[in-house]
Amino acid sequence: MCVQCIQEVTSQGLWQVLYKQQGSDDLHIVTAPIVILAAGTLGSNEILLRSKEKGLLVSERLGEGYSSNGDQLGKPPS
Ligand SMILES: Cc1cc2nc3c(=O)[nH]c(=O)nc-3n(C[C@H](O)[C@H](O)[C@H](O)COP(=O)(O)OP(=O)(O)OC[C@H]3O[C@@H](n4cnc5c(N)ncnc54)[C@H](O)[C@@H]3O)c2cc1C
């Protein structure tokens, strides 16, 4: 399953998650009172940026400040 975006059903205090199954362009919707977004660093930003295009209110700084793994940056050259 690939989550496309999240939208708020403002009148009911609910959230809709729009997703597609792999290999299909059909859009499915699941509705829930609480949605926890845990699609990783890139995936979560991608979903939120797509949701922003559809009207979700998010910070203007969404997607900014991304950097590499700190452990890798601190590694001395071999
Ligand atoms: C090469 C590498 C090595 C690492 N080594 C370490 C380490 O040694 N120690 C350590 O602490 N951390 C390490 N990390 C970091 C660690 O992987 C992350 O901190 C941790 O996995 C983050 O967990 P997460 O659940 O937030 O995201 P993820 O583990 O990235 O899980 C996100 C999940 O969401 C899914 N997803 C993404 N987009 C969508 C979508 N649109 N719809 C549906 N599902 C979606 C993905 O397929 C994935 O299964 C490493 C990362 C990398 C890339």
**End-to-end CA separation in angstroms for the chain:** 41
pLDDT digits (tens, 9 = 90+) for 1-57: 999 999 999 888 999 999 999 999 999 999 999 999 999 989 999 999 999 999 999
Q: What pLDDT is recorded for position 77?
A: 67
Hey, which of 3, 48, 50 would you mutate to test ligand 1's pocket, going by the most ligand atoms within 8 Å of its Cβ? 3
Q: What pLDDT is recorded for position 65?
A: 85
Per domain, the residue ranges of the chain are 2-58
Closest atom of ligand 1 relative to the 1 alpha carbon: 43
pLDDT digits (tens, 9 = 90+) for 60-78: 999 888 777 777 666 666 6
Name the E strands within the chain: 2-9, 14-20, 27-32
Q: What pLDDT is recorded for position 68?
A: 74
